[in-house]
Amino acid sequence: MTPKNVEEAVEQLTQEGYRDIFRVEGCGMKAASRAQCCHPPEEVQIERLYRFEGDSQPDEQTMVMGVRCLPDGNAGTYVVPHGPKLSRLDADALSRLKDIRAR
């Protein structure tokens, strides 16, 4: 089932086992549940991805990803805006993540 919004996408991915929450910090990709664990984006892969635009505001664009850390197998969600609101740190990380989704 394709989620209709960001909340549904996060819920669906969580139910599928992507239980952690990832964010980008200066050290790389960091999982919320593992304070001491931070990996370069090259060690994290995108397994699922959904893109959304706001119903009333098309410039409110968001990507919800199911990602997995290769060294430890930890899986979680990574939610970022796409388009002009994407931060420099997130843009750099996205360009370095390994995308293994079927094409």
CA proximity to 76, closest of 13, 1, 34, 5:
13
- Considering only the C-alpha atoms of the chain, give the largest distance between any 2 of them, rounded to a whole number of Å: 41
Kindly give the confidence (pLDDT) of every residue in the chain, 103 residues in length, as a single tens digit, with 9 standing for 90 and above. Answer: 899 999 999 999 999 999 999 999 988 999 999 878 899 999 999 999 999 987 656 567 999 999 999 999 999 999 999 888 999 999 999 999 999 986 5
Distance CA 59, CA 39 (A): 31
Distance CA 65, CA 76 (A): 8
**3-state class of 31 per DSSP?**
strand
pTM, full prediction = 0.90
